[in-house]
Amino acid sequence: MTEESTLRELICSLARSLFDRGLTAGASGNLSARLSDGRLLVSPTGVSMGRLDPADLSLIDGGRHVGGRAPTKELLLHAAFYDTRAQTGAVVHLHSAHATALSMLPEADPDNLLPPLTAYGIMKLGKVKLLPVFLPGDPAMGEAVRGLAGRRTAVVLANHGPVVAGQDIEAAVNAIEELEDSARLALLTRGMSPRMLSEAQQRAVIETFDVVWDT
């Protein structure tokens, strides 16, 4: 199999896994991955992540749609990560329930949405930026990500859902699953005064695992 055909199959397999486990529903959510020549494979608009066909994935070359079905209307959101983070090899956006719910709470910290409950949330995500509410497909979402100048790998669109960039599609999927699990823990322990990681423990994780920690 060629690099492209292998990646097409992997994208669809991981998307189906996310859908089957309830991390996105209906035709919501989208994902993309970069080929070694810089072209992007992107999930098409209006298609369930549980039923993606490798042959139907949109092919984007230099920002132009050159093959497959029409791409997700949130392509500019994906492009913002690729353009501002050279190491980005894939982007995943879900409408997962717990991360979205956490974004709606009045006490949500816009600079770092996830409380420091586990080392893995810090290791895989760094600080998670909470972005404002945008209409679906609004180009302003991409502009908001560009405004972060590549300093964040993960954001949550308020009342909408998380977006995570990774070095490859598997890393991006693993990270967004960690984000959803961390959000679920935050909601489960809300109002219970959970024992969070101390500043010293957080710093140890950041230094030991070389986490990019935007300040």
The residues annotated with a catalytic role in the active site are: 74, 120
DSSP assignment, residue 121? H
Q: Which CA distances in Å does 6 have to 49, 152, 181, 204?
A: 18, 28, 28, 38
Q: Which of 86, 38, 88, 28 is nearest to 59 (CA)?
A: 38
Dmax of the chain from CA atoms? 52
Residues 95 and 163: their CA atoms lie apart, in Å, by 9
Of 172, 171, 46, give the one whose Cα is nearest residue 163: 172
Amino acid at 130: L
Q: For residues 92 and 215, what is the distance between their CA atoms, to the nearest angstrom?
A: 24
Q: How far apart are CA 122 and CA 114, in angstroms?
A: 9
- 3-class secondary structure, 166: strand
- The set of residues, in sequence order, having a beta carbon less than 8 Å from that of 5 and lying 6+ positions away, is 54
